[in-house]
Structure 1
């Protein structure tokens, strides 16, 4: 593992901010790219990976999400008055705890599962689970959705969670992108910089971007709606402190020696609050995607977890344990997905 420590120096990003640099603090999800790009990255990472079958299954789900999002029906969007009230209160406009889920999400979710089934081979071991979920009663589905969105692990069907979460991701990605298109500037930064300013969810990872006005800036990537919001580098994504920040990375792994892809993913740990979140670097691998790369580096979670750090964030495509979903220790990737 690699680590960074020493005197706290201002990053070029912070210097630019203090100089009044103008750049986008919030990047809404791009409907035509988010799930398609994630699916491509899943397939790329699956090659030779210990979790190959699971990554390929998630790629199928992401491909189905991309197709379903293109035909998602119109749903009620927030008014300008609601946007103003949320901004005044410093709260996410489409907070999962307060914004009502349109019942259409259940119909779209079942249609999503139909697309997944159409893409799966007839002999796929995942088919029976997907087929069984399609007839899950509405009240049971809503209970599972409530637990997932609240970060409650107790009572969550872990096998069904990625598929149910896929429907919730689809719904909130549509909500956020449609609102951003209809009301430019509807979303502002909120009082809690550690959670998504659009829907209030935790991030999956952060990403340092390249190109244009975003060059060198770090953004947190929402686990639910895929919006990205700015947070300066070398700053804890949990306690927002700047002391005791270190970076841990995998080294000397046989499956990484040739490609060097693992260098693009690090765990940013905080010695003050003992939390961590992964950070992916486009400058080291142009094709990194926060959700896919997080999923493909569970070994890194194991290492930092064993060192006593708790994850700040969540990946809805793989949940585990009976604890709070946001705080559970990662599973052993050698055992495969549960």
Structure 2
């Protein structure tokens, strides 16, 4: 089943129906992530990097408050996307506003003080770069061409793009409908992949949602199903329970990929991006079994 976005008011959700899509709340999510990263850093082998990523998340939180974005009207664009079943913020169709580069400049300005080494070099390189070059890097990353952008530069470009897209996603006035085809491996809002999946608690107890690595939206997918190829035939689970309670790697024997599943009933403080980054030991153990990660973490790019 795929999720298609339709104009607000065209469809209403029936009582008790599973919400197919949860739009983000950028006013709180980056602060929650920053605090979780700081908590996870205590005593962690990657403490310095987790704390640096917490700085980025704090800066993202500040940008949301300092640079609030309104969703452009863009005439009939959103109606046409709904008509043709296209993600409204998909990189193939959405014409990015130059404001995302203003967000990047502000982010870099917040992070450069106190930063040294390769990371500081990457920040200064981006600061001195022509906007056309930065647009080219953004386009490459959104198209999945990670090897064409250095991992250090990708970290900051993606962080700014996330603040841009998450605010636009939060402002969407839409409804959603599920349709009978197999295409839930990409975000129905921006077309990017999930960083991890979350099994919810509360009024959505037991439901699994995939968390977008870019716009921070979440979309429903049934459990015990590959989030990459949607096979249900050969699903396996791997865990390091003592080190990471509530987190398992869900592997697929058909496409040989895996994605982490985080159960909030085991640990309600789990946060998709932060806890994915802090459990790279589980990635290593799963990859030793012959599976390849199907997603990127926005703080860990496989660039050059």
Q: C-alpha separation between the residues in 2 aligned to 1:188 and 1:92?
A: 13
Q: C-alpha separation between the residues in 1 aligned to 2:153 and 2:118?
A: 14
Please state how far the C-alpha of 1:159 moved relative to its aligned partner: 1.5
Of residues 257, 261, 267, the one that matches 1:279 is 261
Residue 211 (str. 1) matches residue 202 (str. 2): yes
Please state how far the C-alpha of 1:272 moved relative to its aligned partner: 1.8
Sort the Cα spacing of 1:81 and 1:27 in 2 relative to 1 into closer, same or farther, 3 A: same
More strand by share: 2
8 Å contact kept, 1:205–1:290: yes
Q: C-alpha separation between the residues in 1 aligned to 2:199 and 2:94?
A: 30
- Determine the structure 2 residue equivalent to 1:24: 19
Q: C-alpha separation between the residues in 2 aligned to 1:122 and 1:164?
A: 17
- Determine the structure 2 residue equivalent to 1:91: 86
For the aligned residues, what is the CA RMSD? 2.2
Residue 249 (str. 1) matches residue 242 (str. 2): no
8 Å contact kept, 1:144–1:157: no
Structure 2 unaligned spans of 5+? 1-14
Residue 134 (str. 1) matches residue 127 (str. 2): yes
Please state how far the C-alpha of 1:73 moved relative to its aligned partner: 4.5
Structure 1 unaligned spans of 5+? 1-19, 257-261, 323-338
* TM-score, length-scaled by structure 1: 0.80
- Determine the structure 1 residue equivalent to 2:34: 39
Q: C-alpha separation between the residues in 1 aligned to 2:49 and 2:35?
A: 14
Please state how far the C-alpha of 1:306 moved relative to its aligned partner: 2.0
Please say which of residues 144-153 and 68-77 is displaced more in the overlay: 68-77
Map Cα deviations across residues 54-108 of structure 1 (whole Å, 9 max, x no partner). Answer: 1111100000001101232445535584333222322211101210110111112
1:263 counterpart SS class: coil
Q: How many residues align?
A: 289
Structure 1 residues 170-189: aligned runs within 5 Å: 170-179=163-172, 183-185=173-175
Residue 221 (str. 1) matches residue 221 (str. 2): no
Please state how far the C-alpha of 1:293 moved relative to its aligned partner: 0.7
2:147 counterpart SS class: coil
Please state how far the C-alpha of 1:23 moved relative to its aligned partner: 3.0
Structure 1 residues 304-319: aligned runs within 5 Å: 304-319=286-301
Map Cα deviations across residues 109-136 of structure 1 (whole Å, 9 max, x no partner). Answer: 101111223xx53778744442342222
Structure 1 residues 284-323: aligned runs within 5 Å: 284-320=266-302
Sort the Cα spacing of 1:231 and 1:78 in 2 relative to 1 into closer, same or farther, 3 A: farther
Please state how far the C-alpha of 1:139 moved relative to its aligned partner: 1.6
Please state how far the C-alpha of 1:249 moved relative to its aligned partner: 0.5
Q: C-alpha separation between the residues in 1 aligned to 2:75 and 2:225?
A: 33
- Determine the structure 2 residue equivalent to 1:57: 52
8 Å contact kept, 1:72–1:174: no
Map Cα deviations across residues 263-291 of structure 1 (whole Å, 9 max, x no partner). Answer: 22110001122111111111111110111
Please say which of residues 82-91 and 214-223 is displaced more in the overlay: 82-91
Structure 1 residues 316-331: aligned runs within 5 Å: 316-320=298-302
- Determine the structure 2 residue equivalent to 1:199: 190
- Determine the structure 2 residue equivalent to 1:66: 61
Sort the Cα spacing of 1:123 and 1:273 in 2 relative to 1 into closer, same or farther, 3 A: closer
2:66 counterpart SS class: coil
Map Cα deviations across residues 155-181 of structure 1 (whole Å, 9 max, x no partner). Answer: 2111211111101111101111122xx
Please state how far the C-alpha of 1:46 moved relative to its aligned partner: 0.7
* TM-score, length-scaled by structure 2: 0.88
Q: C-alpha separation between the residues in 2 aligned to 1:189 and 1:301?
A: 32
8 Å contact kept, 2:26–2:163: no
Q: C-alpha separation between the residues in 2 aligned to 1:291 and 1:87?
A: 29
Please state how far the C-alpha of 1:216 moved relative to its aligned partner: 1.1
Sort the Cα spacing of 1:243 and 1:32 in 2 relative to 1 into closer, same or farther, 3 A: same
